[in-house]
Amino acid sequence: MANSKNRTYHEQTVIDYTLRLRDILKTLPPFAGDFFRAIEPTSSIRTRMNYAYDIRVFFRFLMENNPLYTDYTTEQFTLRDLENLTPVDIEEYMEYLKVYKRDDDELMTNGEKGLARKLSALRSFFGYYYKHQAISNNPMLLVDMPKIHEKAIIRLETDEVAMLLDYVDSCGDQLTGQAKLYYEKTKNRDMAILTLLLGTGIRVSECVGLDINDVDFKNNGIKVTRKGGNEMVVYFGDEVEQALQNYMEKDRKAITPLPGHENALFLSTQRRRMGVQAVENMVKKYARQVTPNKKITPHKLRSTYGTSLYKETGDIYLVADVLGHKDVNTTKKHYAAIDENRRRQAASAVKLREP
């Protein structure tokens, strides 16, 4: 792998997550390492790290709530302990996950998706040892996964997209003092990011991972590293081109990045590569002024792009490819349902009384 100065954002993220995973594994029972080594070829480092966090919560639950394990340390757990657990133990864990406290006393909650993710991690964990005959009993096979109710997709309408970009263009007129200075300093960068997200549908993690040399104005494309590590070129239109050039030719050229951040496309005011949370906060800051009744995040901008692309092309496979979905069924579920215009037609199609 490249030296620290030449590493890409993706390469550095893999290193950071790998070191973090090793630290988490030290807080799990010794036999857990076998599972994580086994799933390495078929999973991303982010997935393994999230699994490790979730499995750690499970063992802490047992030590805090199960009378058999209140005197245990994590290191004392053996595969025999897994084998002795019952479906009721797992169901009690699911109940616990709805509201519990972390080590730092922060209150954690899980909805349907959070419960399903944590249970999926545990199911894989038990399944590995059961498949390899290290345990003869797998209580996870007798526990149902929580039902997930689909929620309506929140996205911006066409006029709201225009309102958002217009607001970023002109809101400086309403600001004074430090707020105005900060706005002027970040306006072109913020406009480039918002236009890029709305005009390509890339993920926020892909956006902050962009380097300057990932942008190809000759072909109007950006090279992104997708979830799982695959590289792909995503193409952009004239509006994105204009916003990117405006930022890169003016603001970005005028900034001297801190060491280690020389290649980053989008920089913070501290001259470091912007992080995911910084972009999320920026999107929320502008969006709440334009659409206060919609909780808009970078992912909602991705949904906005996906919906617009599907409406324009009707090609669900193109939408899946451009968004980087591995399974087209994921795309179908989100974008190929009856569109809202047809739903609105239904409202006036049935007459209750003749006028």
- DSSP output for 209-268: T-BGGGEETTTTEEEEE-TTS-EEEEE--HHHHHHHHHIIIIIIHH--PPTT-TTBSSB-
Q: Mean of the per-residue pLDDT values for the chain?
A: 90
Residues 6+ away with beta carbon under 8 Å from 335: 306, 307, 310, 316, 319
Residue type, 156: L
Say if domain 158-337 classifies as CATH 1.10.443.10.
yes
List Cβ<8 Å contacts ≥24 apart for 296-299. 296/154, 296/156, 298/197, 298/203, 298/204, 298/207, 299/203, 299/204
Q: Give the tens place of pLDDT for each residue, 283-320.
A: 999 999 999 999 999 999 999 999 899 888 888 889 88
Note the pLDDT of residue 338: 47
Q: How far apart are CA 163 and CA 169, in angstroms?
A: 10
Q: Give the tens place of pLDDT for each residue, 87-143.
A: 999 999 999 999 988 877 789 899 888 999 999 999 999 999 999 999 999 999 999
CA angle 330, 285, 171 (to 5 degrees): 125
3-state helix, strand, coil in the chain (%, to 5): 60, 5, 30
Whether residue 73 contacts residue 126, with contact meaning beta carbons closer than 8 Å, is answered with: no
Note the pLDDT of residue 349: 66
Burial of 58 (0-12, 13-18, 19+ CB in 10 A): buried
Whether residue 75 contacts residue 29, with contact meaning beta carbons closer than 8 Å, is answered with: yes
Whether residue 137 contacts residue 263, with contact meaning beta carbons closer than 8 Å, is answered with: no
Note the pLDDT of residue 340: 56
Q: Give the tens place of pLDDT for each residue, 40-73.
A: 999 999 999 999 999 999 999 999 999 999 999 9
Note the pLDDT of residue 352: 63
Q: How far apart are CA 288 and CA 164, in angstroms?
A: 10
**Model confidence at 339: pLDDT above 60:** no
More confident residue, 196 or 352: 196
Bridge partners for 222 per DSSP: 215, 234
Residue (of 161, 173, 172) closest to 305 by Cα position: 161
For the chain, what percent of residues have pLDDT higher than 90?
72
Whether residue 146 contacts residue 94, with contact meaning beta carbons closer than 8 Å, is answered with: yes
For the chain, what percent of residues have pLDDT higher than 70?
93
User: pTM for this structure?
Assistant: 0.83
Whether residue 214 contacts residue 265, with contact meaning beta carbons closer than 8 Å, is answered with: yes
Note the pLDDT of residue 351: 59
Q: Look up the CATH number of domain 9-142.
A: 1.10.150.130
Note the pLDDT of residue 1: 46
Note the pLDDT of residue 303: 92
Q: Do domains 9-142 and 158-337 have the same CATH topology?
A: no
When pLDDT is cut at 50, 70 and 90, the band that residue 241 belongs to is: very high
Query: Cα–chain-centroid distance for residue 78?
Result: 34
Residue type, 22: R
Q: Give the tens place of pLDDT for each residue, 172-231.
A: 888 899 999 999 999 999 999 999 999 999 999 999 999 999 999 999 999 998 887 789
Note the pLDDT of residue 333: 73
More confident residue, 333 or 242: 242
Pairing of strands 107-109, 221-225: unpaired
Torsion of CA 64, 93, 16, 38, to 10 degrees: 110
Q: Where are the domains of the chain?
A: 9-142, 158-337
